């Protein structure tokens, strides 16, 4: 019997928040909007998250916690859940990646990989 595959597609958009950043104090604040789409045939609930945030100096932040933005969304096949959150790093360039720990409607646990994405202050060309 073929197992229904858990197909979770994750996409990310980032924005640098200049008004909330303090480059002179090595504080760069970014917003990221995550879209989590269930392209599989089984519903799934997002239980927790694990982020690895790294700045260009090699400083890593390891962030774990329940759900996302205070929610543990259940995403049915064909549905998408979107949320926005933020991250502060000490350099103008960094990366984020991680996993969402999920459970499907068949009570099977799995990790949905969050592809690495870049946090970057927009460059101005003179």
Q: Are 10 and 115 in contact (CB under 8 A)?
A: yes
Helix%, strand%, coil% for the chain, nearest 5: 5, 65, 35
Q: Are 46 and 67 in contact (CB under 8 A)?
A: yes
Q: What is the per-residue pLDDT across 57-110, written as a single tens digit (0 to 9) for each?
A: 999 999 999 999 999 999 999 999 999 999 999 999 999 999 999 999 999 999
Residues 16, 90: Cα–Cα separation, whole Å: 13
DSSP string, 53-109: EEETT--EEEEEEESBTTB--EE-TT-EEEEEEEEEESSSEEEEEEEEEEEETTS-E
Confidence class for position 3, pLDDT limits 50, 70, 90: very low
Cα-atom radius of gyration of the chain, to the nearest Å? Answer: 16
Output the pTM of the full model.
0.90
Q: Domains, the chain, ranges and CATH?
A: 8-120 (2.60.40.1470)
pLDDT at 89: 98
């Amino acid at each position: 019997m073929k197992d229904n595959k858990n197909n979770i597609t994750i996409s990310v958009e980032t924005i640098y928040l200049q008004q909330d950043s303090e480059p002179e104090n090595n504080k760069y604040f970014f917003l990221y909007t995550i879209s989590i789409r269930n392209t599989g045939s089984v519903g799934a609930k997002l239980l927790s998250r694990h982020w690895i945030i790294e700045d260009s100096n090699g400083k890593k932040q390891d962030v774990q916690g329940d759900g996302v933005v205070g929610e543990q969304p259940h995403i049915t096949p064909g549905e998408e859940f979107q949320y926005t959150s933020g991250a502060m790093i000490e350099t103008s360039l960094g990366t984020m990646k991680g996993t969402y720990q999920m459970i499907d409607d068949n009570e099977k646990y799995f990790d949905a990989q969050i592809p690495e994405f870049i946090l970057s202050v927009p460059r101005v060309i003179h």
